Amino acid sequence: MKLKLIALGLLATTSIASAADLPARTYTKAPIVSPAFNWTGFYIGAMGGYGWSDSQGMDLKGGFAGGTLGYNWQGAGSPWVFGIEAEGAWSDIGQTAGIVGLLTVGTKIEGFGSVSGRIGYAFDNVLVYGKGGVGFASNEVNVAVLGVNFNDSKTHVGYSVGAGVEVGFARNWSVKAEYLYAGYGSEDYFVSTAGFLRSGDIEVQTVKVGLNYRFGAY
């Protein structure tokens, strides 16, 4: 009987020693997966760029700067992004031609803007989009005859279409690059004078870069 108890004691001691030699069990946390970038939300931004036009034989060109306000909607798990966007800019796109002191004719787009619908395809934080809508421009015509100036301004209304790429680089911030083509309808200038000048349609192309801040991003 004593021998049996001694044997059981030795067996228990050996088992405890063997268990003590086993490595401690390690626990690994599941990796934290960041949610996919989502474009939904209101946004506001600043933009600027360069524009040009060769409409009606005039070689208009110059810079511009302005602001952007819009809203995007992207369904959960969907790459498609839909939105509406309004833009407005101060502009220095223009040209003056003729002989100074004798006769010169100048035209300058002092400001322009658009209200457009947007549709895009998102590759996570990279959005490729197209846009189109109503465009408008404030244009001034200046005629100088023997040093006497005549000025008239009109607002032209038409359409605008374009495309661009926008990249989200933080929770709320994104940058974009965009090309836009605008066609503005003709207006008659100096109607109140003895004669008038018909502008014809004005076609303007612009390239711009912009920075947007999106509210309520997740």
Over residues 25-52, the pLDDT tens digits come to 554 554 433 457 899 999 999 999 999 9
Is residue 207 situated within a structural domain? Answer: yes
Rg (CA), the chain: 33
Inside any domain, residue 9? no
> Does residue 124 contact residue 156 with C-beta atoms inside 8 Å?
no
Is residue 111 predicted with pLDDT exceeding 70? yes
Binned at pLDDT 50, 70 and 90, residue 218 comes out as: low
Query: Does residue 210 lie within any of the structural domains?
Result: yes
Which pTM does this prediction carry?
0.79
Residue 28 lies in a domain: no
The DSSP letter of residue 55 is G
Q: Is residue 198 in a domain?
A: yes
Pairing of strands 173-184, 202-214: antiparallel
CB 82 within 8 A of CB 118: yes
pLDDT score of 182 more than 60: yes
- CA dist 112 and 92 (Å) reads 10
Distances (CA, A) of 114 to 53, 82, 94, 178: 17, 17, 19, 14
Instruction: Identify whether 52 is part of a domain.
Output: yes
Q: List the beta strands (DSSP E) in 6-102.
A: 41-53, 60-74, 80-99
The answer to the question of residue 154 being in a domain is yes
With beta carbons less than 8 A apart as the criterion, state whether 203 and 183 touch.
yes
Q: What total number of domains does the chain contain? A: 1
CATH number at residue 128: 2.40.160.20
* Residues of the domain holding 207: 41-93+105-215
What rounded mean pLDDT belongs to the chain? 85
**Residue 201's pLDDT is what?**
87
Q: Is residue 142 part of a domain?
A: yes
Paired tokens of 48 = 């600027």
pLDDT at 11 over 70: no
Tell me the average pLDDT across 77-102: 92
